[in-house]
Structure 1
Amino acid sequence: MTEVLPCLAEAEADVQGLVEAHMETMLGVRFLASEYSTGPLHGGRIDSLGLDENGAPVVVEYKRATHAGVIHQGLYYLSWLMDHRDEFQCLVRDRLGAEAAARVLWSGPRVICVAGAFTRYDVHAVREHRRSIDLVRYRLYGGDHIALETVASVHGHAAGARRRTNTGVGGPAPWGRGTAGAAMSDLSSALGEVLLGLGGDVAAVRRKQYTAYRRLRNFVCVPPVRHAKILAYAKVDPKGVDLVPGFTRDVTGLGHHGTGDLEVQLRSERDLERAAGLFRRAYAGA
């Protein structure tokens, strides 16, 4: 047995190239552009542009080690991006198609800062901003491994979802105020409380087709309640789960709203208790 000591990259460009080549796996973000010019008037270059799993625009900034300006730099470019929405949507259309461009989630833009280290002042600073900012620390282990650790994560507008009550996780049920409807509404609210309660870094991102619960990446997505059950799609490998008919199902390769290959069907509080371990596994992997 030999010890493999952690180290930093030789240059910032090495970190950027590695993350851009595997951005969806590492950050849950689809890569759009590298060193994107903000024009002669603004006079800057955005390290990486991307689109996250829920369609939110993402600015990614890299630093080899600790750098006092990484957060402000990311916010500077995010401000430019919000003022040039048409340009960004054209970029999305060119790279990912018209459907993705039409579904850009402008209410939830994000900055992800990837660096060798962050100071306590950086962690405090992100909590004072209204934007969604993730601080991600990297370490290289030999020539074959990289470790990513979320140091701080603030979810901006999405944090307001935590304060909402009695709204459920997937929108109103279609059947009105009957007994079944009230039961599903209560179960929906309980599910939202369980998922948000998994950690202080969890945000609820609401889209028309689903509500995503995420840390750095989505870990559970819940479509609107349509029948006498709630469906939750968890990012857990179905091959590692003892599937129970009527409760869990492998939906790998099957179309559904949101992300996650394990479908969990909830009809009662007892089902929610049974699913708690699966949700914790999904959270741990995000």
Structure 2
Amino acid sequence: MSQLRLYNTNGGVTEVMPRLAEAEADVQRLVEANMEALLGVRFLASEYSTGPVHAGRIDSLGIDANGAPVVVEYKRGTDPGVINQGLFYLSWLVDHRGEFEHLVRDRLGATAAAQVLWSGPRLICVAGGYTRYDLHAVREHRRSIDLVRYRYFGTDLIGLETLATATGRPAPGRGEQRTAQAVRGARERIAELAAVADEVLLGLGDGITKVQRKKYCAYQRLRNFASICPPQRTKVHVYLSLDPTEVDLVPDFTRNVTGLGHHGTGDLEVRLRTEKDLERAQDLFRASYAAA
């Protein structure tokens, strides 16, 4: 939105001017009602009380596709305290894991509560603007933070722009270390192929966060755009967040897995067996990244 200009072409060309919300609560209500579509996060609670000691209220609580807890804070305009306020609540959340897991169990069930990813809690700030100090500070922080700027256009359009992202990457787990060792030793061709696919996905653009789960590794901007499962003996499975019905499926290369059980997130399965497969998959990788 810093460069994008929006025009109405009905009966000529008229610029649709961006504007801020009338009140912070308007942005919060809209995002909470459409959180999964807008942020890739399942909504759990609004104005969540942190109790009498902390005496605060978390604007929104959610959980992302990888099971990471998410705190969402809103500001109508530019507020230099939004990051510190959000981090305060994020620290409270990490110290009250049982309470959050109980909330997840009530809203989403026992399976979701058992899979909460405490190694990667996230803060998403949605505001009308940020200072240059905010943009610098977020990149220096060890927590996973996204600064998202909003603008309303006309009466029924809203735009979201991710201005800065801190990945807050945790130390690699045991499974990730084993894979790295296999790649370094060049012992497994498929492990090397998975490592190259990992590099390609991370190199698609700025603001990509890599999240290691037990049975897959996810790649996200605000939401997941790809995930890689541990290499099998002859192939690597990559799942993309694209609509398979809009892709020309190729037998034994791409597959529609909508409704089928699989590890990772995304409905388009891509099978990689060779470097040539990886090369022809890159247009799909870019399309999924652009849509996230």
**TM-score, normalising length: structure 1:** 0.92
Deviations 1:158-193 (A, max 9, x none): 4879xx88836xx979xxx9x9x6110111111111
Name the CA distance, whole Å, in 1 between partners of 2:223 and 2:169. Answer: 16
Query: For the Cα contact (< 8 Å) 1:108–1:158, is it kept in 2?
Result: yes
2:21 match:
9
Specify the code of the residue in structure 2 equivalent to 1:231.
H
**CA displacement at 1:261 relative to structure 2:** 1.1
Name the CA distance, whole Å, in 2 between partners of 1:80 and 1:104. Answer: 16
The verdict on how the C-alpha distance between 1:186 and 1:96 changes in structure 2, with shifts beyond 3 A counting, is same
Query: For the Cα contact (< 8 Å) 2:77–2:128, is it kept in 1?
Result: yes
Name the CA distance, whole Å, in 1 between partners of 2:171 and 2:73. Answer: 23
**CA displacement at 1:211 relative to structure 2:** 0.4
Report how many residues are paired: 277
Query: For the Cα contact (< 8 Å) 2:143–2:168, is it kept in 1?
Result: yes
Name the CA distance, whole Å, in 1 between partners of 2:282 and 2:235. Answer: 16
Within a 5 Å distance, the mapping from 1:146-161 to structure 2 comes to 146-158=158-170
Residue 203 in structure 1 maps to residue 215 in structure 2: no
Query: For the Cα contact (< 8 Å) 1:247–1:264, is it kept in 2?
Result: yes
2:140 match:
128
Name the CA distance, whole Å, in 2 between partners of 1:246 and 1:220. Answer: 19
Within a 5 Å distance, the mapping from 1:109-124 to structure 2 comes to 109-124=121-136
The equivalent position to 1:277 in structure 2, one of 272, 278, 283, is: 283
1:42 match:
54
Name the CA distance, whole Å, in 2 between partners of 1:225 and 1:13. Answer: 46
Name the CA distance, whole Å, in 2 between partners of 1:258 and 1:232. Answer: 8
Specify the code of the residue in structure 2 equivalent to 1:46.
I
Specify the code of the residue in structure 1 equivalent to 2:154.
G
Residue 243 in structure 1 maps to residue 243 in structure 2: no
1:212 match:
218
**TM-score, normalising length: structure 2:** 0.90
2:73 match:
61
Name the CA distance, whole Å, in 2 between partners of 1:103 and 1:141. Answer: 38
Residue 234 in structure 1 maps to residue 246 in structure 2: no
2:5 match:
none
Q: What secondary structure, in the 3-state scheme, does the structure 2 residue paired with 1:279 have? A: helix
Runs of 4 or more consecutive aligned structure 1 residues displaced over 4 Å after TM superposition: 158-161
Query: For the Cα contact (< 8 Å) 1:172–1:225, is it kept in 2?
Result: no
**CA displacement at 1:212 relative to structure 2:** 0.3
The verdict on how the C-alpha distance between 1:269 and 1:247 changes in structure 2, with shifts beyond 3 A counting, is same
The verdict on how the C-alpha distance between 1:200 and 1:71 changes in structure 2, with shifts beyond 3 A counting, is same
2:115 match:
103
Query: For the Cα contact (< 8 Å) 2:21–2:76, is it kept in 1?
Result: yes
1:87 match:
99
2:191 match:
185
Deviations 1:94-130 (A, max 9, x none): 1111111111100000000000111111100111211
Query: For the Cα contact (< 8 Å) 1:158–1:204, is it kept in 2?
Result: no
The unaligned stretches of length 5 or more in structure 2 are: 1-8
CA RMSD of aligned residues (A): 2.0
Query: For the Cα contact (< 8 Å) 1:63–1:115, is it kept in 2?
Result: yes
Deviations 1:241-273 (A, max 9, x none): 111111111112212112111111100000000
Specify the code of the residue in structure 2 equivalent to 1:18.
L
The verdict on how the C-alpha distance between 1:144 and 1:159 changes in structure 2, with shifts beyond 3 A counting, is farther
